[in-house]
Amino acid sequence: MNNALLYGAKEPLWKYAISKLDRQSMMAIEFGVYKGVSVNYMAQRTPDYIWHGFDSFVGLKEDWKGMIEAGRLSMQGNHPTVESNVRLIDGWFQDTLPGFLEEIDAVPDLIHIDSDTYESAHYILEEMASVIRPGALIILDEHHGYPNWRNGEFLALNQASEKFGIEFEYLAFAQEQALIRITKNDAYTGISDSE
């Protein structure tokens, strides 16, 4: 953590993350699209990437403990306007992620977890453990710096790390965000070719 950079805003951290992509799969995923600000920012700067944006567009599924109640941050089911290299996946993560993982033919270079709650981050990291490869980047949008943060995405990351033998290095911080690079993942199996 001693070498991690510190930014005063999200956008420079996103830009730095893009500069650190190793460009193996040319695919990235965002969980928690909301108005599309972050996915559009990164998709504009990586036009050769396909971005998959997961969101229910009806707000938080559960209370964001210490912050706001379930249902807030809703787009009333409406999708934001996104860049042409962004594919929106509408629905709860638990309903959409398993099928998505069965269909993909590459593992993501970058995962942006902007789902706000512990429950969502925990589910994402558990479900994706087998496709989070060494070298991949993860941005945690609510990693630290708000009431009850130690029981949010920070906790979900540390639980996944312990359960799956995931090791990582911190590359950068900004406001509540953290950028990490995976250095080891005992659960990584990649994508199996069933043909």
Look at the chain and report how many structural domains it folds into: 1
Which pLDDT belongs to residue 3? 92
Inside any domain, residue 192: no
CATH number at residue 102: 3.40.50.150
Residue 29 falls inside a structural domain: yes
**Is residue 32 predicted with pLDDT exceeding 50?**
yes
The reported pTM is 0.92
d(CA 159, CA 66): 20
193 domain-assigned? no
Question: Has residue 194 been placed in a domain?
Answer: no
Range of the domain at 145: 5-185
Helix crossing, 118-128 with 93-103: angle to 10°? 20
Residue 45 is assigned to a structural domain of this protein: yes
In-domain check, residue 191: no
Residue 41 lies in a domain: yes
| pLDDT (tens digit per residue) in 51-102 | 999 999 877 777 667 677 777 666 777 889 999 999 999 999 999 999 999 9
Determine the distance from the C-alpha atom of residue 67 to the mean position of all C-alpha atoms in its chain, rounded to a whole number.
Answer: 20
- Name the pLDDT band for 194 (thresholds 50, 70, 90): very low
User: Looking at the domain assignment, is residue 142 inside a domain?
Assistant: yes
110-141 pLDDT, tens digit per residue, is 999 999 789 999 999 999 999 999 999 999 99
